[in-house]
Structure 1
Amino acid sequence: MTTTPEAADLKTHHGPAPEPGGVTTGERRRTPAVVRLLVLATFVVILNETIMINAIPRLMTDLNITEQAAQWLSTAFMLTMAAVIPVTGWFLQRVTTRRAYATAMGVFLAGTALATVAPVFEVLLVARVVQAAGTAVMMPLLMTTLMTVVPERDRGRVMGNVTMAISVAPAMGPTVSGLILQLGSWRLLFAAVLPIAALITWRGLAELENVGEPQLSTIDWFSVGAAAAGFGSLVYGLSRFGEGGAVVPALIVVAGLVMIAAFAVRQLRLQRRDVPLLDLRVLRNPTYALSLLLMSLGFMAMLGSMILLPIYLQSLRGLTPLETGLLVMPGGLAMGLLGPVVGRVFDRFGARMLIIPGSAGIVAALAGLTQISMTMPYWQVLGLHALLMVSLAATFTPVFTLGLGALPARLYSHGSSMLGTLQQVASALGTALVVTVMAGRAETRIAGGVPEALARLDGMRLAFVISAVLALVMVGIAFMLPKHPAPEEPEVPEVPSTVGQVEDELEDELEKAGLALEPAC
Structure 2
Amino acid sequence: MKKYNTRAIMASLLICGFVGMFSETALNIAISNLMDVFQISAATAQWLTTGFLLTLGILMPMSGLLLQRFTTRQLFIGSLASSIVGTVIAALAVNFEMLMAARVMQAFGMGLLLPLMFNTILVVYPPEKRGAAMGFVGLVIMFAPATGPTVAGLLIEYLTWHYIFWFSLPFLIVGLLVGLKYLENVTEVSKPRIDIYSIVLSTIGFGGVVFGFSNAGEGTEGWSNPVVIISIAVGLVALALFVIRQITMKEPMMNLRVFKHPMFIVGLLMVLACMMIILSSMIILPMFLQKGLGLSALVTGLMLLPGSALNGILSPRMGRLFDKYGPKWLVIPGFIVVSVTVWFFTTLTITSSVAFIIALHIGLMVGISMVWMPAQTNGLNQLPPELYPHGTAVMNTLQQVAGAIGTAVAISLLSGGSEKYLHNSASPTLPTELANAMMQGAQHVFTFTFVVTLISLGIALTIRRVLVSHSTMHSMH
**Same structural fold, with TM-score higher than 0.5 when normalized by the shorter chain:** yes
User: Please, which of 84, 93, 104 is the counterpart of residue 118 of structure 1?
Assistant: 93
Pick closer, same or farther for the CA change 1:168–1:238 going to 2, 3 Å: farther
Q: CA deviation at 1:157?
A: 3.7
User: Please, which of 52, 57, 74 is the counterpart of residue 99 of structure 1?
Assistant: 74
Pick closer, same or farther for the CA change 1:184–1:441 going to 2, 3 Å: closer
User: Please, which of 86, 108, 111 is the counterpart of residue 133 of structure 1?
Assistant: 108
| 1-structure distance, mates of 2:150, 2:309 | 11
| Higher deviation after alignment, 260-269 or 81-90 | 260-269
User: Structure 2 matches for 1:174-185, cutoff 5 A?
Assistant: 174-185=149-160
| Higher deviation after alignment, 33-42 or 306-315 | 33-42
User: Please, which of 25, 42, 45 is the counterpart of residue 50 of structure 1?
Assistant: 25
Q: CA deviation at 1:194?
A: 0.9
| 2-structure distance, mates of 1:332, 1:359 | 17
- What residue in structure 1 maps to residue 244 of structure 2? 265
| 1-structure distance, mates of 2:423, 2:117 | 50
The amino acid of 2:289's aligned partner reads: L
Pick closer, same or farther for the CA change 1:489–1:287 going to 2, 3 Å: farther
User: Please, which of 452, 470, 492 is the counterpart of residue 452 of structure 2?
Assistant: 470
Structure 1 residue 255 and structure 2 residue 234: aligned? yes
- What residue in structure 2 maps to residue 221 of structure 1? 196
- What residue in structure 1 maps to residue 323 of structure 2? 347
Q: Summarize deviations over 1:295-321 as a string: whole Å, max 9, x none.
A: 000110001111221122111111011
Q: Summarize deviations over 1:456-479 as a string: whole Å, max 9, x none.
A: 423322321221121122222223
User: Structure 2 matches for 1:224-373, cutoff 5 A?
Assistant: 224-243=199-218, 244-245=220-221, 246-248=223-225, 249-270=228-249, 273-274=250-251, 276-373=252-349
2:150–2:301 CA contact under 8 A, matched in 1: yes
User: Structure 2 matches for 1:387-398, cutoff 5 A?
Assistant: 387-398=363-374
Pick closer, same or farther for the CA change 1:391–1:348 going to 2, 3 Å: same
2:61–2:394 CA contact under 8 A, matched in 1: yes
Backbone CA RMSD of aligned residues: 2.5
- What residue in structure 2 maps to residue 504 of structure 1? none
| Higher deviation after alignment, 374-383 or 212-221 | 212-221
SS in 2 for 1:52: helix
SS in 1 for 2:198: helix
Pick closer, same or farther for the CA change 1:218–1:69 going to 2, 3 Å: same
Structure 1 residue 200 and structure 2 residue 175: aligned? yes
SS in 1 for 2:185: coil
User: Please, which of 390, 393, 410 is the counterpart of residue 386 of structure 2?
Assistant: 410
User: Structure 2 matches for 1:486-501, cutoff 5 A?
Assistant: 486-487=468-469
Which runs of no fewer than 5 residues in structure 1 stay unpaired? 7-21, 24-29, 491-521
- What residue in structure 2 maps to residue 501 of structure 1? none
1:362–1:471 CA contact under 8 A, matched in 2: yes
Whose helix fraction is larger, Structure 1's or Structure 2's?
2
SS in 2 for 1:129: helix
The amino acid of 1:159's aligned partner reads: M
- What residue in structure 2 maps to residue 163 of structure 1? 138
Which runs of no fewer than 5 residues in structure 2 stay unpaired? 427-432, 473-477
| Higher deviation after alignment, 349-358 or 453-462 | 453-462
Instruction: Give the total of aligned pairs.
Output: 462
| 2-structure distance, mates of 1:114, 1:442 | 35
| 2-structure distance, mates of 1:295, 1:161 | 18
Residue identity (%): 35
| 1-structure distance, mates of 2:418, 2:96 | 31
| Higher deviation after alignment, 430-439 or 258-267 | 430-439
| 1-structure distance, mates of 2:386, 2:13 | 20
| 2-structure distance, mates of 1:261, 1:50 | 32
User: Please, which of 380, 399, 402 is the counterpart of residue 375 of structure 2?
Assistant: 399
User: Please, which of 442, 463, 472 is the counterpart of residue 481 of structure 1?
Assistant: 463
